[in-house]
Amino acid sequence: MSPPNVITIEEHFWTPELSGVGHRQAGAPERLSDMDVLRIREMDEAGIDLQVMSETAPATQNLEPETAVRLARRSNDYLHAAVRAHPDRFAGFATLPTPDPRAAADELERAVTKLGFKGAMIMGLTHGRFLDEKDFWPIFERAAALDVPVYIHPGPPHRAVVEAYYKDFPDLTGAPLGFTVETLTHAVRLIVRGVFDAYPGLKIIVGHLGEALPFLLWRVDNTLKRHTSLARGFADYVRANFYVTTSGAFSNTALACTIAELGVEKILFAVDWPFMSNMPGRKFMDAAPISEKDRALIFGGNARKLLKL
């Protein structure tokens, strides 16, 4: 079997048990439920060889611990069945029951060592708490030990933030602004809290071309030098420990900034299917004003290396 050349790594599904949990974006139920025919047909139309699939938001992040553990395990078994049916087309990121961090670490290990998953995806806050809080560090300890990445995906902003920032502008709560602010804050807090000092080999993935992190990198690095005593420069942590994807961010200028700040080896192709269609993502990367060598790295080379595909 030849290695996949075009790999997308933020592509979603839902399980029957989690399909009714929380707010869901309209227009996607049929595609989120499909684990073979429709999904593969749309992959083929866009020339995508492999999808790395993950349970869509909000997954199990805001459930009670016992329920989260049970449904995360169910989600991972469900995804494993789909991967096993189409091993040349699908791979998986684990759903983790973060309301019980130690159980989440154990489920990550099961998913990687028993099910063959390539890492995990976490959908934003857990009951309003950021993952930099030390209660959650067992997850990062286990991910570092297993040498698999954790993808921090946007989730709904904290209720207090929604009330203060978006009450009069509900359309801004999600992808236009709220998701970016919340996920960017998540990434910055992980660094400032010292997570990467404790686990220097930990790898974190952030979507949407880094949720503005590459654009803000110099300013955050410069100002934090005056206010914190990090062991390394802020930008050093980002460049060493973070990867970003193209999911739902098909902009040549943003891509150029991201390559300039992080290096092309830290960028992975993703679409955000089914909330974004495969074809626009593929056309964006095909036409991006970059070298063919860099295009091949983003399309699949970087993912093959990071995820050991």
pLDDT per position as a tens digit, 177-186 = 999 999 999 9
Question: Among candidates 193, 92, 196, 187, which has minimal Cα distance to 140?
Answer: 196
Percent of residues, the chain, with pLDDT higher than 70: 97
Domain spans, the chain: 7-307
pLDDT per position as a tens digit, 234-253 = 999 999 999 999 999 999 99
- For residue 4, is pLDDT > 80? no
Catalytic residue positions, numbered: 272
- For residue 298, is pLDDT > 80? yes
| 171 confidence band (pLDDT: 50, 70, 90) | very high
The secondary structure of the chain, three-state, reads CCCCCCEEEEEEECCCCCCCCCCCCCCCHHHHHCCCHHHHHHHHHCCCCEEEEEECCCCCCCCCHHHHHHHHHHHHHHHHHHHHHCCCCEEECEECCCCCHHHHHHHHHHHHHCCCCCCEEEECCECCECCCCHHHHHHHHHHHHHCCCEEEECCCCCHHHHHHHHCCCHHHCCCCCHHHHHHHHHHHHHHHHCHHHHCCCCCEEECHHHCCHHHHHHHHHHHHHHHCCCCCCHHHHHHHHEEEECCCCCCHHHHHHHHHHHCHHHEECCCCCCCCCHHHHHHHHHHCCCCHHHHHHHHHHHHHHHHCC
pLDDT per position as a tens digit, 9-23 = 999 999 988 986 654
pLDDT per position as a tens digit, 185-228 = 999 999 999 999 999 999 999 999 999 999 999 999 999 988 88
Cβ contacts of 95 within 8 Å, gap of 6 or more: 54, 55, 59, 60, 71, 72, 75, 76, 79, 107, 120, 121
Beta bridge partners of 91: 52
- For residue 26, is pLDDT > 60? no
Asked if residues 108 and 75 have their Cβ atoms less than 8 Å apart, the reply is no
What pLDDT, on a 0 to 100 scale, did the predictor assign at position 29? Answer: 86
What pLDDT, on a 0 to 100 scale, did the predictor assign at position 228? Answer: 83
pLDDT per position as a tens digit, 105-160 = 999 999 999 999 999 999 999 999 999 999 999 999 999 999 999 999 998 899 99
| 2 confidence band (pLDDT: 50, 70, 90) | low
Beta bridge partners of 11: 53
pLDDT per position as a tens digit, 287-297 = 999 999 999 99
Average pLDDT for residues 269-295, to the nearest whole number?
Answer: 97
CA distance 189 to 244: 17
Name the CATH topology of 7-307.
TIM Barrel (3.20.20)
pLDDT per position as a tens digit, 50-106 = 999 999 999 999 999 999 999 999 999 999 999 999 999 999 999 999 999 999 999
Query: Residue 167's CB: how many other CB atoms inside 10 A?
Result: 9
What pLDDT, on a 0 to 100 scale, did the predictor assign at position 183? Answer: 97
Query: 2 or 135: which carries more pLDDT confidence?
Result: 135
- For residue 27, is pLDDT > 70? no
